[in-house]
Amino acid sequence: MSLATLAILLPIGAHGRVHLRAIPVRGSRLLFSLFLGGMMFSALPDDRAALPAHGQLHLFDTLHGLVLVYVAYSLSFTCSY
């Protein structure tokens, strides 16, 4: 699970970091602020909202479902540091 998560997070995080912070693009500050705002919220309300989607996509008790949730919650931390 850790290797799969790293394989997804590292390219996305590096790409997001470069384009959101290093390259001055119009709207990058707003998008970066949204990423930072994602770090301020608890994962519990998001998890409750994601449960019906996991049930419909048959992601309960699967490695894909676990990796998907972990990537979604870790993406804001990865792009901001």
Q: In the chain, pLDDT over 70 holds for what percent of residues?
A: 90
pTM: 0.68
Q: Is 45 left (phi over 0), alpha (psi -120 to 50) or beta?
A: alpha
Return the pLDDT at 4: 92
The angle, 0 to 180 degrees and rounded to 10, between the axes of the packed helices 63-80 and 43-56 is: 140
Residue 43: which pLDDT band, with cuts at 50, 70 and 90?
Answer: low
